[in-house]
Amino acid sequence: KGVWADKGDAVSGAHAAIYAVRKCVTDKIANVFLPCMRLLQAAANSVFNEMVSSMPRGSRDLHAILEPLMPALTDRLSDPNKRCQESTRNAILAIAVNVDPSFATHHVLKITFRRGAGGRAAAAPSLLPNKALSARCDVLQAVIDTCGLVSTDAGGVAENAHGSSNSSFTAPVLLTMAFDLLKQCPASEVRSSAVSLAAKVCSLVGRDAIKPFIKSIERQSQREAIETEIDRILNGRRGSNSSSKSAPRRRPQTQDSRPNSGLTKEQQPAAAPTPVVCQFCGYSDPEFANQSDLLDLHYWRDCPSLTQCYGCGQVVELAGLAEHRAVECEAAAGGGET
């Protein structure tokens, strides 16, 4: 152990670099971890690249010796130390460029983990922490920017230039991850990263790519809000909200805005302008008057006076949640959690 067969300088160098990095990839001391990441990047840009480009089995051999390193490396994307985060990100990008983007990101695409059950049956998978999920979405976007997407043929089979027959860095796989996060995670930073990832994919393959995924969102109001955000990103406009709730609260109609079926068009009063102040929390934004959907997005994502019922998913006023659960909630009425 620790002695490698003489398969050429590139192979020996790859083994040596990976052996050293595996020894310290979990080390919490930045001054130990950072040099190892620089070593990994240097190896990727030199010996890894040489193995893939000049050896028939180079890519497969690299996958075998790198695989034990990748789970721990991926976990460091959410390291508390910003320098360690950035160094990990750069190392994964170097592996994506010089080895294979699908291989470099196949652990990044995992959004759940299983807790140990102390000898009993394994517990159900749980979502990773919010910081880890956001970091994974962000590094996937960086890999897309650097390497592009792996294309698929007419039958949906990945055409991978790196020789891997089972590519995971395709538009459907990435959109599946993004929409799984949108359905399962209410945290604002995660939803923002997931929407950005979906928009990044759409910018390369077209907006129609999200159609089969958007249908999986149960509530129409959620679907509309997600599509609005993706369109805003694709059009180069930054969304005005950053936190999240799972369904928008529709603005109640005022007396002036209700249809007047008995009057001609000329006799009908002018429609009341969209309010610029949230009626629930008092937040004011002049853009509410210019873009009516922004107020819906505020109800859905930002308003601190609204919350999602954990039983039926309806968005209600926070102060009235208990009454809603006791009187209106369909899940509670059907014997659900109270």
Residue 272 is predicted with a pLDDT of 52
More confident residue, 253 or 218: 218
- Kindly report, residue by residue over 270-318, the tens digit of the pLDDT: 555 555 788 888 888 877 777 767 777 777 777 878 877 777 777 788 7
Please indicate, yes or no, if residue 244 is contained in any of the structural domains: no
Report if residue 285 sits inside a domain. Answer: no
| pLDDT at residue 336 greater than cutoff 60 | no
Taking alpha carbons only, the member of 160, 156, 53 closest to residue 101 is: 160
Examine residue 299 and state whether it is found in any structural domain, yes or no: no
In-domain check, residue 296: no
242 in a structural domain = no
State the residue range of the domain holding 25: 1-100
- The number of distinct structural domains making up the chain is 1
Longest C-alpha distance within the chain, in Å?
Answer: 91
Tell me if 74 is assigned to some domain: yes
- The band of 92, judged by pLDDT with boundaries at 50, 70 and 90, is very high
275 located within any domain: no
The verdict on residue 19 lying in a domain is yes
Q: Is the pTM of this model over 0.75?
A: no
